[in-house]
Amino acid sequence: MSDRNLTARADAVTSVGASSAADATPVLLLDNIRKSFGSTQVLRGISFDIRPHEVVALLGPSGSGKSTLMKCVNLLEQVDDGQIWLGNTDITDPRANQDRIRARIGVVFQQFNLFPHMSVLKNVTLAAIKVHHWSRDRAESRALELLDRIGMRAKAGAYPDQLSGGQQQRVAIARALMTDPELLLLDEITSALDPMLVGEVLSMVAELKSQGTTILMATHEMSFAHDAADRVVLLRRGVIAENGTPREVMDESEDPETREFFAHFRH
């Protein structure tokens, strides 16, 4: 597909982007994404985009399709129909180089998935060295820079079992940032944490936002989504029920189901 057609697709997708990025090419564009498991339709025509430096919160009740959508963006699941564009690359094209695409997307899941037998530094550098063929010097220099940025440089030689859950999740975020990705996916990154440790991870995400990182995050932390997101996409039964600013969706929606959903949370 030509760049002109891509721009036309982007213009056709309804989204409420940050005003400063309103005219920019989307970092991520989802066009009519459909996904079923057997006879169950999980995603039923999802279309939205994310502009540079935007933080978009993907919200919705359990079973609404959030996790499946995140897996489709990260190529862990193949879509049945529709296209996903990362910049000017159609990542749903079977001919696309998946390793190169994954190097452009950083992902953090709810489980930290750190290797217990490796130090923090080795956990952060492993993929850059083994998958992306960085030199050890380059990888370690970048890793130490990131660990310093998240206040974890002093723990570079520590092992995961010597860290709190919040510290482990911060290391996982540093690992996801190693290749300077165009997009950072955060999939329920606080759900496995002790409530006392959630704040330190959310503070780090807020810092990433202030530095201009483009983020798509699925979360149940409604107060944080309200304060940190530029835009909220609310999924319901596999479709987009709402797409707007946090205030528009979480405070001012006139849809009864939306109002009932957010009534269960305080933000």
DSSP string, 93-156: STTS-HHHHHHTEEEE-SS----TTS-HHHHHHHHHHHTS---HHHHHHHHHHHHHHTT-GGGT
- Residue 99 has a pLDDT of 83
Architecture of domain 28-264 in CATH? 3-Layer(aba) Sandwich (3.40)
Work out whether strand 183-187 and strand 105-108 pair parallel, antiparallel, or are unpaired: parallel
- pLDDT score for 266: 54
**pLDDT tens figures, 147-158:** 998 889 999 999
Q: What is the pLDDT of residue 240?
A: 97
Rounded to whole angstroms, how far apart are CA atoms 73 and 84?
Answer: 7
Regions of the chain where pLDDT drops below 70: 1-23, 266-267
Domain ranges in the chain?
28-264
- Dihedral sign computed on CA atoms, order 237, 238, 242, 245: positive
Query: 140-191: per-residue pLDDT in tens?
Result: 999 999 999 888 999 999 999 999 988 998 899 999 999 889 999 999 888 8
